[in-house]
Structure 1
Amino acid sequence: MKKLLLLLITLTLLIATLIYLAFTYGTDLASNIITDFIPIEVQKQIGKASLQSMDIQSFEKTSLPAYTQNKIRQKFFQLVDKDSNEITLLFRNAPYPNAFALPGNYIVILDSLVRMSNDTIQYADVLGVLAHEAGHLHYKHSLRLMIKAGITGIIVGYLIGDLSSFVATTAHRLLSLSYSRQFEEQADDYAILLLHKNKISTIPLAQMLEKISQPVGSEDIPVFLSTHPVTKERVKKLRYSQLNN
């Protein structure tokens, strides 16, 4: 009984604090504060549960050959100088090109995006997209978006040890949540530094962004564009960075 009372008091104080922060400084600051306190184990739990929800609602198993998957994985892990224990790169199938980062260091890339590559030997354009997503992971952008979308749910779930309700209500929405201009610029800057460090041109990434930003068929707004706003300034910056490298 005492434990329950203590939990309720703690929960009340935390929610009150979050409400105060949200009203005083905005939900961005409140979500940033929460993000910094979430352990990596909990982040992985959120990411894994989010992917499971998306697999049920949106994705199918990848149809890419194992050789292609392994080749891209190998080049990506060389690029970020990490291994599969630090970042999990997953392939999924859907009728549109997209790639996104999930909490807990998961990156998902869709078959359609890989098939749009102009370079099936080095996959420089695909690596550029993955470098951008690695930037989103570095800054925990997807976790910040999810927390901002369900700020109370994450606190309640964390305290009672059950994040399923929070994940169920926010995971699928992550596919439609749009990164802010600031988030995209941060991820672009991260990708530029990473690509230049590995002597990979940023031009293929710029070309890929232009390509996947074009509507397909009856599409009004491409799926990638709805979640990753592509501006002329971003593409121009990527091209300019290569000229000055």
Structure 2
Amino acid sequence: METDRSKAASAAPPGGVYFDGTSNRRRVVALTLSDALEIGEDGKTIARWAYADIRRADSPTGVLRLSCLTAPALARLEIRDARLAADLVAHCAHLDDNLPGRRGVAAIVGWSIAAAASIVLVVLFGVPLAADRLTPLVPDAFERRLGDVAEAQVKVVFDGKPCTNAAGQAAFEKLVGKLRETAGLDNSVQSGVLGSSVSNAFALPGGKVYLFEGLLAKAENPDEIAGVLAHELGHLRHRDSMREMIHNGGTSFLIGLLFGDVTGSGALIFASRTLVTSSYSRDAETNADTFAIETMHRLGRPAKPMGELMLRVTGKEGGTGLSLVSSHPLTEDRLARMSKADGAVTGAPLLTPAEWQALKGICGAGKV
């Protein structure tokens, strides 16, 4: 049957094939270009299309397929004669108005720019506001589950396995326990040292604080590590980690939509990673500093060593890479504040020399 149609089309006089849109009948017609396109059959005009209403339709190579705004929706005219097609195209000023070849492209580009701009505005203003509003509403149980997922992602991304040397772990628990009790936090806080060369410490939603081996290796005394841990406990107290998780997760989800990740599958991985590598807001950092200073002073210990450790890290690493300074930017004003706030040291050392050495070697006996 298809062969018969092909033969009929090739034998047809210059004109076209017309489908009236009300039946599947294939009609070989003659075309006349006058003040409008006249479609004739057996010497009679069966349709008349104004040139302004004619539009190009999708068609195979070598065929000009047309529709008309005033004709039935399914009406189509097919022209195979190249000269006739060229003459007709010259008469139709709006032939491609409904195709993404001219105005369609401009419309698509315009809407795409508008969509991208709206996403940028939501990322810059909407997401932070939503994070501030939503954080207090997140149930503790859900936050703990979210923290468990983030913890697993962080361990995979940074290849950080928990360090389990018994003496080192005991010293670490003693240090964290003193800080936690002094800060008024309950015993639901989870903490540990991860075997990674990254010089950082971080807090995760659900009461999790971790220290990377790389930072512990650069510390010279317990007060330096205690100050950093107290700072992270401050982020936990203020739920900064949960706020950043919502912020970063929402941002990465929107950016994923912009670039084609319609499932948002990378949002949680991105959010978990950025909790370790990106900085909190200025207010969040200031509040965590205040928390750390107050906690150290209640213990009768100085807060300045925390700043000295951060300065030592940035001095060795130039402030680059995934260091403590990249996620907790240290300024001279912050260090000066810690120094100025310190008074006389009245408390006993947080760890004995033997416990400090054990903590320094917590990752030396292997990791689980």
TM bucket, shorter chain? 0.7 to 0.9
How many angstroms does 1:99 deviate by?
0.1
Q: 1:207 aligns with which of 299, 302, 308?
A: 308
Q: 1:237 aligns with which of 325, 334, 337?
A: 337
Q: 1:189 aligns with which of 290, 302, 314?
A: 290
Deviation sequence 1:127-185 (CA, Å, 0-9, x none)? 1110000001111111111111223899xxxxxxxx98753342223233221221111
- For the structure 1 residues 24 and 230, does the alpha-carbon distance in structure 2 shift closer, same or farther, using more than 3 Å as the test? closer
Q: Which residue of 1 aligns with 2:131?
A: 31
Structure 1 residue runs of 5 or longer lacking an equivalent are: 1-18, 155-162
Question: Matches of 2:216 and 2:237 in 1, distance apart?
Answer: 23
Question: Matches of 1:24 and 1:130 in 2, distance apart?
Answer: 30
**Which region of structure 1 is more displaced relative to structure 2, 223-232 or 166-175?**
166-175
Paired residue total:
214
RMSD: 3.0
Q: Which residue of 1 aligns with 2:236?
A: 137
Deviation sequence 1:193-244 (CA, Å, 0-9, x none)? 111111111122121121122243x873552221111111111100100048
2:213 is the counterpart of 1:114: no
| Contact 1:46-1:167 at 8 Å conserved across structures | no
Question: Matches of 1:24 and 1:149 in 2, distance apart?
Answer: 11
State the 4+ residue runs in structure 1 displaced beyond 6 angstroms.
Answer: none
* Larger strand percent: 2
- For the structure 1 residues 72 and 83, does the alpha-carbon distance in structure 2 shift closer, same or farther, using more than 3 Å as the test? farther
Question: Matches of 1:179 and 1:152 in 2, distance apart?
Answer: 15
Question: Matches of 1:43 and 1:69 in 2, distance apart?
Answer: 26
2:156 is the counterpart of 1:67: no
| Contact 1:209-1:235 at 8 Å conserved across structures | no
Question: Matches of 2:197 and 2:124 in 1, distance apart?
Answer: 43
Greater RCO, CA 8 A, separation 6+: 1
Deviation sequence 1:65-118 (CA, Å, 0-9, x none)? 321222122122122216884200121011121100000000010112122221
Q: What secondary structure, in the 3-state scheme, does the structure 2 residue paired with 1:148 have?
A: helix
| Contact 1:212-1:222 at 8 Å conserved across structures | no
- Give the 5 Å matches for 1:49-88: 49-63=149-163, 65-81=165-181, 85-88=187-190
Question: Matches of 1:23 and 1:171 in 2, distance apart?
Answer: 18
Question: Matches of 2:124 and 2:176 in 1, distance apart?
Answer: 41
| Contact 2:163-2:192 at 8 Å conserved across structures | no
2:204 is the counterpart of 1:102: yes
* Larger helix percent: 1
Structure 2 residue runs of 5 or longer lacking an equivalent are: 1-118, 254-263, 346-368
| Contact 1:97-1:111 at 8 Å conserved across structures | yes
Question: Matches of 1:206 and 1:87 in 2, distance apart?
Answer: 24
Question: Matches of 1:49 and 1:151 in 2, distance apart?
Answer: 16
| Contact 1:101-1:133 at 8 Å conserved across structures | yes
